[in-house]
């Protein structure tokens, strides 16, 4: 049961430093507040080391890169590693441009990540492009479906083994894996893909879950994925005539705000392979 990992976030109020993209920074902050965490946003290189020092976790999102923020990511990541803090990488758009791909690969080479969270295309790009993951079989379908599930689970476990990170692949079916176990999660709504930033929000929230549950990174990451998916289901069930994607975004955040461990245990849909 995953509800206890949610309740630990409420209990511990983890402080998370986010170097995230400009499109979704406000929503990431609000989701962290909704789940019981506390957000700080900073990407200025002269600021990030001090900020990450006072936090328990660091969420690095490469969605809107510039030279200054890239330097900030490296400096914050190194400092977080020195302190033994949780560090998450969200490789938004890896594979779409050389800058994004090279930045994500470079970060993986220089920084130890507790968890890497992205869609299947982004994760495949990292598997093929990083020296630290050379040899991982990335010949997996570009969507995780029931037909491709076995190969996708093997891919996620293999990459987790090579990187030493929990691998979270989100999509219609979500996979959260370490080298030995993989959560196959079926919460969520397809309409969530029409809102900018649900993945970014999940990365911020997932960082908080790992900070609050330091001894159970895989289970904590899976609990975060189930929380977001279940919130998407609850939020959609409350949509009214005339509501659209802006209202849906707010209903998802509200659903997280009103959620607790018991609700998560009742609504989580997953199996472990």
Q: Is the pLDDT of residue 14 over 70?
A: yes
Mean pLDDT confidence for 6-31: 97
Domain boundaries defined on the chain: 3-272
pLDDT for the residue 140: 65
Other residues' Cβ atoms within 10 Å of the Cβ of residue 146: 10
Mean pLDDT confidence for 236-258: 97
Q: Is the pLDDT of residue 137 over 60?
A: no
Question: Tokens 């690969």 — which residue?
Answer: 105
The pLDDT confidence band at residue 128, using thresholds 50, 70 and 90, is: confident
Strand partners, 245: none
Mean pLDDT confidence for 203-224: 98
Q: Is the pLDDT of residue 237 over 50?
A: yes
The pLDDT confidence band at residue 247, using thresholds 50, 70 and 90, is: very high
- pLDDT tens across 177-189, in order? 999 999 999 999 9
pLDDT for the residue 95: 87
pLDDT for the residue 133: 37
Question: Tokens 């900070």 — which residue?
Answer: 211
pLDDT for the residue 131: 39
Q: Is the pLDDT of residue 234 over 60?
A: yes
Q: Is the pLDDT of residue 258 over 80?
A: yes
Please check whether residue 108 is in contact with residue 132, taking contact to mean a CB–CB distance below 8 angstroms.
yes
CATH placement of domain 3-272: 3.40.1190.20
For residue 54, with 0-12 CB atoms within 10 Å meaning exposed, 13-18 middle and 19 or more buried, which class applies? exposed
Q: Is the pLDDT of residue 139 over 80?
A: no
For residue 126, with 0-12 CB atoms within 10 Å meaning exposed, 13-18 middle and 19 or more buried, which class applies? buried
Chain-wide mean pLDDT for the chain?
Answer: 94
- pLDDT tens across 49-85, in order? 999 999 999 999 999 999 999 999 999 999 999 999 9
The pTM of the full predicted model, rounded to 2 decimals, is 0.95
Evaluate the CA torsion angle 233, 238, 241, 246 in order and state its sign: negative
């Amino acid at each position: 049961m995953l509800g206890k990992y949610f309740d630990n976030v409420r209990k511990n109020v983890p402080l998370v430093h986010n170097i995230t993209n400009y499109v979704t920074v406000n929503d990431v902050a609000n989701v962290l507040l909704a789940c019981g965490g506390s957000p700080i946003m900073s990407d200025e290189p002269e600021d990030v080391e001090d900020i990450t020092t006072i936090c328990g976790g660091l969420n690095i999102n490469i969605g809107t890169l510039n030279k200054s923020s890239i330097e900030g990511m490296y400096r914050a990541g190194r400092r977080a590693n020195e302190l033994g803090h949780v560090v998450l990488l969200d490789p938004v758009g890896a594979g779409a441009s050389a800058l994004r791909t090279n930045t994500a690969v470079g970060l993986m080479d220089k920084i130890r990540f507790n968890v890497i969270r992205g869609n299947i295309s982004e994760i495949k790009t990292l598997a093929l492009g990083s020296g630290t993951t050379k040899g991982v079989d990335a010949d997996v379908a570009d969507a995780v479906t029931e037909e491709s599930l076995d190969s996708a689970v093997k891919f996620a476990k293999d990459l987790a083994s090579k990187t030493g990170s929990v691998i979270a692949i989100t999509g219609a079916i979500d996979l959260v894996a370490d080298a030995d176990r993989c959560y196959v999660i079926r919460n969520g709504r397809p309409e969530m893909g029409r809102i900018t930033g649900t993945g970014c929000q999940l990365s911020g929230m997932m960082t908080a879950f790992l900070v609050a549950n330091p001894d159970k990174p895989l289970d904590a990451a899976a609990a975060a994925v189930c929380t977001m998916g279940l919130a998407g289901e609850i939020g959609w069930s409350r949509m009214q005539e005339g509501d659209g994607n802006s209202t849906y975004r707010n209903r998802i955040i509200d659903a997280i705000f009103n959620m607790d461990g018991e609700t998560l245990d009742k609504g989580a849909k997953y199996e472990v392979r």
